[in-house]
Amino acid sequence: MRNRQSIEFLRFRYWIVVGLLLLIVLAIVLRMIYLTVIDRGFLVQQADERILRDVPIPAYRGMILSADGIPLAVSIPVDSIWINPQEFKADYQNIIAVSSILKISPNALQKLLHRNAHKLFIYIVRDINENEGNKITALNMPGIYTEQEYHRYYPEGPITAHVVGYTNIDDAGQAGLELAYNDWLHGIPGKRSVVKDRLGNIVAVMDTISHAKPGRNLILSLNDRIQFLTFQVLQQTISQYKAESGSAVVVNPKTGEILAMVNFPTFNPNKPYSPPYDRYRNRAVTDMFEPGSTMKTFSIANALESGKFLPATEVDTNPGWFIVGDGKVRDEKNNGVINVIQILQRSSNVGVAKMNLLLPPNNLINLLQRLGFGERTASGFPGESDGVLPYKTEWRPFDYVTLTFGYGIDVTTLQLAQAYTAIANQGKICPITFLKRSQPVTCQQAMDPELAHEMLLLLEQVVKPTIANEESTGTQAAVPGYRVAGKTGTSYIAAGSHGYTTGHNTLFVGIAPVSDPQLVIAIIIRDPQNMIEQGGIIAAPAFSKIMAGSLRILNIPPDQLESLNGTKTSTPFPEAN
C-alpha cells in the first residue's frame, strides 16, 4: 500500500516538473516569435548598439593671416592615439610594440595603463604624424585606436608669437589673438555613425549625423615684412646694449591699425609652456612704465592750448634747477633762457615744469584723458593694462611738476603710440585694432587740429639736424629723405613702492613723413646694461631703422629730398634772441 502511494507521488512530481519545463519552453518559443516577427526592430537595435558608434568629426580651425596674406597660424591634420584599458591586453609583447612605435617608455606606458585601469578612455599621445598612426592601426590590437585631430602650426614662430598667441592641445586659444578671437576661429565638430569590428576599427560609415563646420579665417592688420623688420631691429638693439627687454609698436594713425608689434625676449608658439614664463607676456600691452620725457610733448601741447604760450615764448631755466614744494627739479645742464621750441629740443625739465605751473593741473589731466591715458585701448587684446593716470582734487606742487615730465603716470607702449597718433592725424585718435579694416572708421577728436599740426612741427625740430639744433636729443632718429617728428625719453625704473632702481628705460616715439603722416612708431628698451642710457642714443637709432624700412616697404615717397644730400634745413619757427 505504501509502495503504491510512493509511486503515485513520484509520478505526480514527475508530471509537475515536465509541465513546468513545457511552460518554460513555450514561453521561450513565444518570446522568440514575438521578437523575430512582432518586434524584430528590437533585435536590430540591440545588434546595432554593439557595433554602431557615433564618432566626432574634427572641425578645422580658421587660419590667421597677415594683412598681406601671409599665413601666421594654420591647422594641419594629425593623429592621436587612445586606449581603452579594459579592452587592451597590457602584456609584454603589446606594451613593447606600442611603445616602440610611439617612442615612449614601456614602463611609463604600463604605469599609465595600470593607473587608469578602471577607465574606458585615455589618451596615450597626441599630435603624431600619419605614418605613426598607420603603424598603430596595422597592429590590429583590440582596445587601441587612432583618432584624427588638428594641430596648430605657426609658420612665423617667435616673430609674431606675442600678437598671434597659441592654442592648447585641444586646439582652443590660450593667449593673444588666438584667445581673443577663439569663438570666431574655432569650428563646430560634426558627428557620424560608423560600424566598428571587434577590434574597434571602422569598417563602414553608415551616416553623417552632422557635418563639421570649419572656423572662420582672421585677417590681421599686421604687415608681415614690417613685423619681421621690427623684430630684427629690436633683437639687434637689445643684444647690442644687453638690455633686459624691449617692445616696439608700429601704427597707422589714419586707421588705428597695428602694422607691427614686437617684444623681446620672445618664445616659440609651436612649443609653448617652457620656462622662463615671463617671456610669454606681450609687454607692449601689459607692462606699464613711467614715460619720462616722451610726456613733455603733451605738457607743451597743454601750455600751447592754454593760449598763454607760443613756440617762441621764452622761459628762464637758470640756473638749471629750481625748488618746487618739497622737491627739486633739475636739468642735465643750465640751458639759460630758452624758448618753447628749445625746451622740447633739449628736453628741459625745468622749462616744461615752469610753463605748466602757471596752469591749472586739471587742464593737463583732461588732455591726457582725451589722448587715452588711464584706460585700455580699443584693441581688445587679452590682459591689456589700463595704465595709471592720477586724478587729484588737490595737487602737491612737486607731484604735479613731475607729472609734466613723465613721472607719477604709468603707460604702456601701445598707449604711448596711440597718444602720438593724435598729433599725426590732425588731432584725431582712431580706435586701435589688430584687424585689417575693410570699412572707414570713426575717429575721436582729442586735440584741436591746429594744435596737433603745431605740435607735429615742433616735434620735427627735435629730430631735424638743423644748424640751430645741435643740442637736440633726437637727431639720431632722422631718416634720410623724409621729414620725421618725434621725442626721446629716459626714465628711472620704479622699484614698487620703494622709490627707484638704478636702471633706466630708454624710449623714442616718432612720426613720418611729416608732410602726410603715415606711421607712428613707439619703442622702449628696458634697462640697457651700459653707461649710455639716453633714449636719443639707444632707442632713436632703432626707431630710424624701423621707420626707414617701413616707409620703403609701403612705397611711401620721400618728402625731403634735400636731406639725401646732407643739407641742413632751417626751422619754420622763429628763433629766440
Q: Do 233 and 212 lie in a common domain?
A: no
Q: How far apart are CA 510 and CA 393, in angstroms?
A: 33
Q: Do 208 and 345 lie in a common domain?
A: no
Q: Do 240 and 186 lie in a common domain?
A: no
Residue 280 covered by a domain: yes
Q: Taking residues 181-209, what's their average pLDDT?
A: 68
- Give the closest residue to 138 by CA, choosing from 89, 81, 90: 81
Among 17-26, 246-255, 300-309, 495-504, which is the least confidently predicted range?
A: 17-26
In CATH, what number is assigned to the domain containing residue 478?
3.40.710.10
Q: Do 376 and 400 lie in a common domain?
A: yes
Q: Do 185 and 244 lie in a common domain?
A: no
Q: How far apart are CA 263 and CA 378, in angstroms?
A: 20
Strand partners, 261: 249
Residue 241 covered by a domain: yes
Residue 170: Cβ-neighbour burial (10 angstroms; 0-12, 13-18, 19+) = exposed
Residue 232 covered by a domain: yes
In CATH, what number is assigned to the domain containing residue 101?
3.90.1310.10
Q: Do 164 and 251 lie in a common domain?
A: no
Query: At 197, is the pLDDT very low, low, confident or very high (cuts 50, 70, 90)?
Result: low
- Domain of 146? 62-219
Which residues, other chains included, contact 240 with Cβ-Cβ below 8 Å and sequence gap of 6+? none
DSSP E strand boundaries for 171-271? 173-175, 190-196, 202-210, 218-219, 245-251, 258-264
Which residues, other chains included, contact 490 with Cβ-Cβ below 8 Å and sequence gap of 6+? 292, 293, 504, 505, 506, 507, 533, 534, 535
For residue 458, what is its C-alpha cell?
A: 615742433
pLDDT tens track for 388-405: 999 888 889 999 999 999
pLDDT tens track for 309-368: 999 999 999 999 999 988 999 999 999 999 999 999 999 999 999 999 999 999 999 999
Q: Do 327 and 405 lie in a common domain?
A: yes
Indicate left, alpha or beta for 84 from its phi (over 0: left) and psi (-120 to 50: alpha).
Answer: beta
570 pLDDT above the threshold of 60: no
Q: How many domains does the chain have?
A: 2
Last residue of a domain, one of 186, 219, 252: 219
291 pLDDT above the threshold of 60: yes
pLDDT tens track for 253-287: 999 999 999 999 999 999 988 888 889 999 999 99
Distance set, CA 261 to CA 10, 228, 285, 467 (Å): 100, 10, 10, 35
* Report for 95-99, 184-188, 448-452: range of highest mean pLDDT: 448-452
Residue 450 covered by a domain: yes
Q: Taking residues 222-232, what's their average pLDDT?
A: 98
Q: Do 358 and 503 lie in a common domain?
A: yes
Last residue of a domain, one of 187, 219, 251: 219
Q: Do 213 and 316 lie in a common domain?
A: no
State how beta strands 218-219 and 64-65 pair: parallel
Q: Do 100 and 234 lie in a common domain?
A: no
Q: How far apart are CA 374 and CA 383, in angstroms?
A: 15
Q: Do 90 and 108 lie in a common domain?
A: yes
Last residue of a domain, one of 188, 219, 250: 219
Q: Do 178 and 268 lie in a common domain?
A: no
Residue 390 has a CB neighbour count (10 Å cut-off) of 15
Per the prediction, the chain carries an average pLDDT of 88
Query: At 55, is the pLDDT very low, low, confident or very high (cuts 50, 70, 90)?
Result: low
Residue 156 covered by a domain: yes
Residue 160 covered by a domain: yes
Residue 523 covered by a domain: yes
Residue 15 covered by a domain: no
72 pLDDT above the threshold of 90: yes
Catalytic residues: 293
DSSP state of 562: G
